[in-house]
Amino acid sequence: MGDGGAGGTVHLLCLAASSGVPLFCKSSRGGVPARQQLPFSVIGSLNGVHMFGQNLEVQLSSARTEDTTVVWKSFHDSITLIVLSSEEGTSELRLERLLQMVFGAMVLIVGLEELTNIRNVERLKKELREALSGFAEAAGTAFLSLVMSGRVVAATEGWWRLGMPEAVLLPWLLSSLPPQAARDYPVYLPHGSPTVPHRLLTLTLLPGLELCLLCGPRPPLSQLEPQLLERWWQPLLDPLRACLPLGPRALPAGFPLHADILGLLLLHLELRRCLFTVEPSGDKEPSPEHRRRLLRSFYTLVTATHFPPEPAAPEEKVEAAPQAPLPRACYLVSGPEEPGVGWRLVALQSGPRQLLLLLSPQSPSHGLRGLATHTLHALSPLL
């Protein structure tokens, strides 16, 4: 259920909105699945206060205690999701996005019609438990793409045009499945086709590299495999094999990157693509997992308080009232703001691009914007 802070606990509850019957409950501590479960009385109370508000035409969306944040969200008057988090620095926005992704994952597996017309709660509970056990992460959507170690590294325009949440959920789904030479997997698209299933076909070209197709009833997998692999992909296997070691770094070999950079996230808001790595250089502290948590938390903070998540549509710009100028850059020190102490995080917005950097404690605060600007110019040809 995402990257939790050290010792932080997250509880995710899914209930039938009409009856309050729990469909599944998941817990994690520090990002690791935990057996600790909330008592049924607590689950009932959390759902009860939400339903009480709805009966009075009051929408309860979130609440905070001294050490816990709670977010409620209902979907199609059928499913209610509740998340409780004691992770340090968590926000309602991050938890709401988590609930949206969880519901998208449910639609991806069983379809919207099954979720909005729950006829057999016990059967649905069984299906969701089997499907969601691997959904600490989930997947994205498209027509044809190459996925390397859970990342989309190349795709057709059709794949790139498909929006949220499919673009995130499908690669996550692939990374949660056991390795197979080929798959023919039925999926529903939460945004594009929530009631009619599509076929997600995958062919393993090399270990860690899969060819993924999203299609209808045809072609059969038995016909697709020899045609594509032998005719189109066999000549490319050697170059692709040479690219596999670059997967974690996500940058071309020899790409000039400042030695202080420990991780980066580059987003192109118009193309809806990103470049992300927490392994740009050799072994340094903190660990890749810790770097990932720092960057994700910083991204949540930046998009919630400083930068808009995506550019406004042209008609919105004309009709909207004048607003104060948006910031172009911001930075954060994780820990004491002293020379050589605390990880440096800096964000820069330039046109459709946003760049977030995680830097070593040795990087001086007064040079962060210049370093980020130089890095953005160097990365722009890649995205």
Alpha carbon dihedral 46, 51, 56, 61, in 10-degree steps, equals 60
Q: Are 12 and 34 in contact (CB under 8 A)?
A: no
Task: Decide if pLDDT at 58 tops 70.
Answer: yes
Mean pLDDT of the 314-340 span: 66
Q: Are 208 and 171 in contact (CB under 8 A)?
A: no
Q: Identify the architecture of domain 261-309+326-382 in CATH.
A: 2-Layer Sandwich (3.30)
Q: Are 193 and 215 in contact (CB under 8 A)?
A: no
pLDDT of 328: 86
**What CATH number belongs to 9-132?**
3.30.450.70
* Paired tokens of 171: 């690669």
Task: Decide if pLDDT at 308 tops 70.
Answer: no
Task: Decide if pLDDT at 315 tops 80.
Answer: no
Task: Decide if pLDDT at 201 tops 50.
Answer: yes
Q: List the chain domain ranges.
A: 9-132, 137-219, 261-309+326-382
- List all residues 6 or more positions away from 159 whose beta carbon is below 8 Å from its beta carbon: 141, 142, 143, 144, 145, 152, 214
Domains 9-132 and 261-309+326-382 share a fold: yes
* Paired tokens of 154: 């190349």
Alpha helix (H) ranges present in 221-271? 221-226, 237-243
Q: Are 14 and 128 in contact (CB under 8 A)?
A: yes
End-to-end CA distance of the chain: 29
Task: Decide if pLDDT at 301 tops 70.
Answer: yes
Task: Decide if pLDDT at 312 tops 60.
Answer: no
Task: Decide if pLDDT at 184 tops 80.
Answer: yes
Residue with the larger pLDDT of the pair 38 and 93: 93
* Paired tokens of 18: 């009409």
pLDDT of 73: 93
Q: Are 169 and 181 in contact (CB under 8 A)?
A: no
pTM of the complete model: 0.64
**How does pLDDT run across 109-149, given as a tens digit for each residue?**
888 887 876 555 555 444 444 733 332 232 233 467 878 77
Q: SS3 breakdown of the chain: % helix, strand, coil, rounded to 5?
A: 35, 30, 35
Residue with the larger pLDDT of the pair 121 and 180: 180
User: Which residue from 347, 370, 343, 342 is spatially nearest to 357, judged by alpha carbons?
Assistant: 347
pLDDT of 276: 87
CA-angle at 255, arms to 251 and 261, nearest 5°: 80
**How does pLDDT run across 243-295, given as a tens digit for each residue?**
676 666 677 666 778 889 999 999 988 888 888 888 876 667 888 889 999 99
pLDDT of 36: 75
